Amino acid sequence: MLTNDTEVLENYYHNEATMIEIVNDSYQYYNENPYVNCENDQVESMEEKNDINQYLKLIEYANAPLYPGCTSFTKLLATVKLYNLKVRNGWSDASFTQLLKLQRERLPIGNTLPESTYAAKSLIKSLGLHSAMIHACHNDCILYWGKYEKINECPTCGESRWKVDARSQRCVQVSRPKC
């Protein structure tokens, strides 16, 4: 089972205003102190300057239309929605890059959709979102996470976390059918 912070946004990120709220939540200090900027004497370190620049860039991406004249998507909104699909459906990085390239070709000239998975991940990483693969019981009893992270069988149903691969005779994660 894959859990990730982008899933939390699924019912939340429907427009540019909420994307700006997400950026502001990620960079709370700069949102609460709008007079702090890179030229200001209040900035003491290069790391803080980089944070401020990243915050301002994300605000720009949350406001900029995906392409000239677009009113329904911004660069940030489109990237988060597409990346959410990638994660939820287990797409490889290569297949997602192909999808991004196809979408860029389909969109009008001047669109700002990222060109690759790497570019999309870089943009989303700035929001502090990440994903992690977490095993689940084959019978959906538990997630092998937290206090169950190191156990090898489900404490509820007794099902093994692993199965033996017939060819290699090695223990592997029990694969789950796609819904």
The tens digit of pLDDT for each residue in 65-123 reads: 999 999 999 999 999 999 989 988 889 999 999 999 999 999 999 999 999 999 999 88
Domain total in the chain: 2
Q: Which two tokens stand for residue 90?
A: 């287990």
Which residues have C-beta within 8 Å of that of residue 10, sequence separation ≥ 6?
84
CB 9 within 8 A of CB 128: no
Check whether residue 85 and residue 161 sit in a common domain: no
Q: Where are the alpha helices (DSSP H) in the chain?
A: 5-8, 16-26, 28-32, 46-63, 75-89, 93-106, 117-125
Distance CA 10, CA 133 (A): 18
Q: What is the DSSP letter of 136?
A: B
Is residue 10 pLDDT above 50, yes or no? no
Check whether residue 122 and residue 138 sit in a common domain: no
Check whether residue 82 and residue 139 sit in a common domain: no
Check whether residue 157 and residue 109 sit in a common domain: no
Check whether residue 52 and residue 72 sit in a common domain: yes
Is residue 14 pLDDT above 80, yes or no? no
Check whether residue 101 and residue 76 sit in a common domain: yes
- Helix then strand count (H, E) for the chain reads 7, 4
The closest alpha carbon to 128, from 19, 3, 6, 38, belongs to 6
Check whether residue 43 and residue 99 sit in a common domain: yes
- Lowest average pLDDT, out of 50-59, 104-113, 164-173, goes to 164-173
Check whether residue 73 and residue 55 sit in a common domain: yes
CB 107 within 8 A of CB 131: no
- Which residues make beta-bridge pairs with 65? 74
Parent domain of 151: 134-179
pLDDT band (50, 70, 90) for residue 51:
confident
